[in-house]
Homo-oligomer: A and B are copies of this chain.
Amino acid sequence: MINFQTSPDQYHHWKLNVDGAVATLNMDVQEDETLAEGYKLKLNSYDLGVDIELADAVQRIRFEHPEVKVVVITSLKPRIFCAGANIYMLGTSSHAFKVNFCKFTNETRCAIEDDSHHSGRRYVAALNGTASGGGYELAIACDEIYLVDDGNSAVSLPEVPLLGVLPGTGGLTRLVDKRKIRRDRADVFSTLAEGLKGKRAKEWGLIDDSFPTSKFQESVDARVQEIVEQSVSLQGDVAKTSFGESEPLETNSSLDGIKLNPLHLEIKPAGLEYKYVNVVFNREQRYADLTMRGPEANLPTAPDEIQKLGESYWPLHAYRELDDALLYLRVNEPEIGLVCIRTVGKIDEVLAVDQTLAANKGHWLVREIILYMARVLRRLDLTAKSFFAIIEPGSCFAGCLLELLLASDRSYMLNNPDERVELATSELNHGALPMSNGLTRLQSRFLAMPEKVDEILGQNGRLDTEAADAAGLITFAPDDLDWEDEIRVAIEERTSLSPDALTGMEASLRFAGPETMDTKIYGRLTAWQNWIFQRPNAVGPQGALTNYGKPTQAHFDFKRT
């Protein structure tokens, strides 16, 4: 059982130091503290356990240290920044684990960029030694990259030449789409096992600058101070896109962080019990029922009260639970292929919370909560399981919870005149919770009829089953006579299908419309990496990944496909 909850006092591999406006994330991987047997984490190489800590640290900086303007990522090991994902870990992992590992590490890097883009925090990769493979991929997830010029340290992506796999944690995509390296140089760099050092790396755009060893620390410090000084204007500037509109952040909001407490999770044979999220495993039938409870009544509406409530405030706490449940399901319950999502609660209470969030979106904590909800929903979009939304009496698919329905592959809403069931939209459906493709879930849904989006959002009222059906918000509206049978059959049919075909199908149908760097990473690059992770040239007995570091040599079937 892999646990995604951690906190700085439990970290094995990272040291988080916060000093005023600057946080430093020091990587110091303990080679024996591995998540599984059979490999050692040498040279700051990482496994999922290392990345769970990194993800936690980035999350905590946002909520617990909002005063931080710059995050420096560096290494405590001499001459090595990070050697990337541990190759022996990859070599001994199942295909499914490799895929889940890559997805999570991708999400962590995208979360860094989300912080930079929406909250204006700048990430500086201070490469005090070589950054290879995933080490360099971590660096290019940062805003700026500085490399020590010690005659030896390099940046490199040796996956293709050494391992026969891709720099698949966003590496190839970020090379040409984020840093906009010329494609022929990207080609050379990605096939050059030893990588490039200071001068040429800078000339090609792989790093922002290099400094000699004796001046490295002070040069990085000087640059960090420069960013801190620019940060107020910067923050106001970039953060204006966080809600899909151009309203600048309030700058007078309090910057006292809140504490992210551990979640209370009871893991039972039959499922997971959190405070607001409940998951029941139907293992025999290979599906889970996930129920999310709406908020209590009379939650505070003023930012300072919300700040006092802190982590226990419903939207933050409930979405943290949902996030944890999704990760749990992905990694620990691979045979569960379908999740039926229900909500329980009062639509009015959800809408009240959404109204509070929307009204205070300029407050740093509210902004972070909204951005976090958006990330959790994107995690759902990217989860390789089918999702059905089941809309029954007593449910509260409204506003931020309506997104759960819109994120689902399909939905069933009871149509019974004696038991009114309703949906509702809120200000949060207007653009606060975008998908990876940059669209709202309503926009993605109504690509053919963009006017529908405004129509639905403009209604501002409740939609009962017939109205929801007419509006195109739900897939099926069975009556009470058919309800149970229809859902039972739908579940049986879904779970009987090839899990691989469903993964590929959902990855194609969920992301209509534009592609962004994020969707390219999750769609194009990841799909190619998954393909390669199946190929004998990588993972067969004579494959490059299998034979790495062994006296035996890789042998390829040279047919190009």
Name A's B-contacting residues (CB within 8 A).
95-96, 99-100, 159-161, 163-166, 172-173, 175-177, 179-188, 190-191, 205, 286, 334-337, 384-385, 408-411, 444-448, 472, 474-475, 493-495, 497-515, 519-520, 523-525, 527-532, 534-535, 537-538, 544, 554, 556-561
Contact = CB atoms under 8 A, between A and B. Distances in A.
21 contacts: A95-B561, A164-B497, A164-B501, A175-B509, A176-B508, A176-B512, A180-B512, A182-B448, A183-B512, A184-B408, A187-B506, A188-B410, A334-B559, A334-B560, A384-B560, A498-B537, A498-B544, A501-B537, A508-B525, A514-B514, A528-B530
A497 B179 CA distance: 25
A513 B560 contact: no
A530 to B, nearest CB: 5
A316 to B, nearest CB: 28
Given A182-B472, A183-B444, A534-B535, A166 B508 contact: yes
Contacts of A183: 409, 444-445, 509-510, 512
Contacts of A494: 191
A160 B446 CA distance: 24
A491 to B, nearest CB: 12
Given A475-B185, A509-B183, A510-B183, A337 B560 contact: yes
A155 B408 CA distance: 24
A510 B182 CA distance: 10
Contact of A560 (B160, B502, B544): B502
Nearest to A329: B560
Given A448-B205, A534-B535, A336 B510 contact: no
Contacts of A501: 159-160, 163-166, 532, 537-538, 544
Contacts of A534: 531, 534-535
B337 A493 contact: no
Contacts of A474: 184
Residue from A181, A495, A560 with most neighbouring chain B CB atoms (10 Å) = A560
A515 B514 contact: yes
A519 to B, nearest CB: 8
Given A336-B560, A503-B560, A524-B508, A164 B448 contact: no
Contacts of A191: 493-494, 497, 505
Contacts of A179: 448
Nearest to A157: B505
B499 A180 contact: no
A182 B445 contact: yes
A529 B524 CA distance: 11
A561 B96 contact: yes
B500 A184 contact: no
A505 to B, nearest CB: 5
Contacts of A497: 160-161, 164, 191
B180 A447 contact: yes
B180 A500 contact: no
Given A385-B560, A446-B182, A160 B505 contact: yes
Q: Top 8 closest A-B pairs, CB basis?
A: A164-B498, A527-B527, A180-B448, A504-B528, A176-B512, A515-B515, A172-B508, A334-B559
Nearest to A333: B560
A187 B409 contact: yes
A159 B446 CA distance: 25
Nearest to A533: B531
A527 B538 contact: no
Nearest to A168: B504
Contacts of A96: 559-561
Contacts of A184: 408-411, 445, 474-475
A171 to B, nearest CB: 9
Contacts of A503: 528, 560-561
Contacts of A99: 561
A410 B501 CA distance: 36
